[in-house]
Amino acid sequence: MPRPDLKDQENLSIYWDNHLRDAFDEAAPHIYPGMVEASLAHVLMLTRQGILPRGRGELLLKGLLTLWARTESGEQAYVFDGSVEDPYYFLEQQLAAECQIPTSELDVQLARSRNDLDAGVFRMVLRRQLLDQAALVVQAAKDAAVQAAANADSLIIGFTHRRPAQPTTIGHVLAGLSEAMLSQAKEMLSIYDELNVSPLGSAAFTGTDLPIDPLMVGELTGFDSSFTSSYEAVAGAEHFMRLAAVQARITATGARFARVLLEWMTFKWVETPTAYTQGSSIMPQKKNPVVLEHMVSMAGVTAADMAATYANIGSAWYEDSNNATTDVQKHLWRAGERVVRFMRMMDGLLLDLKVLQLPDHAEIVASGATTTAVAEALAARGIPWRTAHDVVGRLVRADAPADWTADGVAKAFADAGIDAAEELVATTLSAGQQPELILARMQDGSPGSEAVRRNAAESQQRADDFGRDVQRRRSQIDSARERLMAAAADAGRGHR
């Protein structure tokens, strides 16, 4: 047979064509803007510290500002032509051309390594992505809480282990979902705070003898603080693992609810919104809510990205290595973009949730969901709990609660060794016939209508608080960028 080609571009080596080109195409649009931003801060610091001659600093700052303007306008193209191996050298190439000097005369890497630059830019990219994801999670949590309050009286059959269990409400389920998403939001903000520590200035991993100011660079790039260990600054991967885990967690929880929502739609308890459906190619009656299937699949892929991230990191030495840092970025970026799409659909489904035809009381009773209430009513009258549980179990295995008779109840008690008085028989017959009594339950966190509304109100307040926290962090890095650009422009014009 003919020998298959080992590369597509003849001007590239096999390694460059099969890996570096692909890695460049994937990474450059993500990290090149951050590299320019971090380089502006670095050159400004070198100039202010007197490490870089003022004239040289001005030249580099002007060139970097031009490169930044190109990234902001969308004019910057990222073409891997084989002249450089990665975005790091591509930046040098672009900067040298703009400054009209050879790359050999560049000082942008003075007292800096690709290691700390990459580590810093990875954090800069991921922190903005994380805030985008967190904003959507917080918004969906609030919308779930609003719907919980609105549906605090929407009585349904609650399930455990895929079997009818006890009466509950749509509001009770959504209040729980809101709490889950708020827990995710809390974790995301904690991860953000760990991400937002600057590694810039740690160089390869041991720092430098030159009198640089890492704190200045960190402040100029919007970090809350700077590294305390130059080794962990470039070798560390804790923030990557935490981020991968929360991304998988968000979609996993959402997928679980998607399956519940699919069942509610199938039961016709809630509407199947047309905007989230596809038709059948052969069955004209079908309106398939396949979005819910896609969301379950998206959760699976996000879990796979998490597993790949952990596998890469776990296979690396505790030192700067591509396995634990560079090579996991694509999984984090891809999962982050997927979380955004996932949460947009999740929030849309919550906003469009409308009750259609809830199960009537007879249907709830027939499902056996009220039998726990019967056993509790018997226990309240002095029957030992295990005996009450056994008696009710005997009854429900024989007939649905609506079909129980006084004679059948008396026999069940007799079989349990109890001479049941008429009042006890009457309690047994009546206690399971009113599923709506669950709405009057006052216990905090329960399906009681007022309990659900209290829970929902608290969750809405927490969501508002988290929303302010997200916005504060976003404003901080946006303001830092504005200050950096203004300072770099002033310095580039020769102003101190």
For residue range 61-96, what is the model confidence (pLDDT) as tens digits? 999 999 999 999 999 999 999 999 999 999 999 999
Check residue 494 and give its pLDDT: 65
Spatial contact of 9 and 82, defined as CB atoms under 8 Å apart: yes
344 and 303, same structural domain?
A: yes
Check residue 15 and give its pLDDT: 96
Residue 302 has which token pair? 């996000």
Is 490 part of any domain?
Answer: no
Q: What is the CATH number of the domain that holds 61?
A: 1.10.275.10
Residue 430 has which token pair? 């009546």
**Among 465, 496, 37, CA closest to 222:** 37
318 and 229, same structural domain?
A: yes
Is 9 part of any domain?
Answer: no
From the centroid of its chain, how far is CA 494? Answer: 45
The residues near 285 (Cβ < 8 Å, ≥ 6 apart) are none
> Residue 289 and residue 322: Cα distance in Å, rounded?
41
> Residue 254 and residue 140: Cα distance in Å, rounded?
11
156 and 50, same structural domain?
A: no
- What one-letter code names the amino acid at 39? S
Which sign, positive or negative, has the C-alpha torsion 42, 43, 46, 52? positive
- What one-letter code names the amino acid at 387? T
- What one-letter code names the amino acid at 240? F
The residues near 440 (Cβ < 8 Å, ≥ 6 apart) are 448, 449
> Residue 220 and residue 482: Cα distance in Å, rounded?
9
122 and 220, same structural domain?
A: yes
Span 96-110, pLDDT tens digits: 999 999 999 999 999
> Residue 7 and residue 12: Cα distance in Å, rounded?
8
Q: What is the CATH number of the domain that holds 199?
A: 1.20.200.10
79 and 192, same structural domain?
A: no
299 and 150, same structural domain?
A: yes
Question: Which residue, 110, 140, 159, sits at the end of a domain?
Answer: 110
- What one-letter code names the amino acid at 196? N
Q: What is the pTM of this model?
A: 0.95
Span 159-201, pLDDT tens digits: 999 999 999 999 999 999 999 999 999 999 999 999 999 999 9
Check residue 476 and give its pLDDT: 98
> Residue 181 and residue 339: Cα distance in Å, rounded?
13
The residues near 426 (Cβ < 8 Å, ≥ 6 apart) are none
Check residue 400 and give its pLDDT: 86
Question: Which residue, 59, 77, 110, sits at the end of a domain?
Answer: 110
| CB half-sphere exposure, 246, CA atoms < 13 A | 27
Check residue 431 and give its pLDDT: 86
403 lies in which domain range? 371-433
DSSP state of 414: H
Tokens 């195409």 locate to: 25
The β-bridge relationship of strands 287-288 and 278-279 is antiparallel
308 and 261, same structural domain?
A: yes
Q: Please provide residue 200's backbone torsions phi and psi, each rounded to the nearest 5 degrees.
A: -65, 125
309 and 274, same structural domain?
A: yes
Q: Mark residue 212 as left, alpha or beta (left: phi above 0; alpha: psi -120 to 50; beta: remaining).
A: beta
The residues near 163 (Cβ < 8 Å, ≥ 6 apart) are none
353 and 302, same structural domain?
A: yes
Residue 142 has which token pair? 């609030």
Q: How many CB atoms lie within 10 A of CB 59?
A: 22
403 and 310, same structural domain?
A: no
> Residue 336 and residue 340: Cα distance in Å, rounded?
6
Is 324 part of any domain?
Answer: yes
Q: How many CB atoms lie within 10 A of CB 10?
A: 7
Residue 408 has which token pair? 């059948």
131 and 94, same structural domain?
A: no
Q: Which residues of the chain are under the pLDDT cut of 50?
A: none
Q: Please provide residue 396's backbone torsions phi and psi, each rounded to the nearest 5 degrees.
A: -75, -25
Buried b / exposed e over 84-98, threshold 16 CB at 10 Å, is bebbbebbbebbbeb
200 and 74, same structural domain?
A: no
Is 493 part of any domain?
Answer: no
Structurally, how many domains does the chain consist of? 3
Is 426 part of any domain?
Answer: yes
Is 351 part of any domain?
Answer: yes
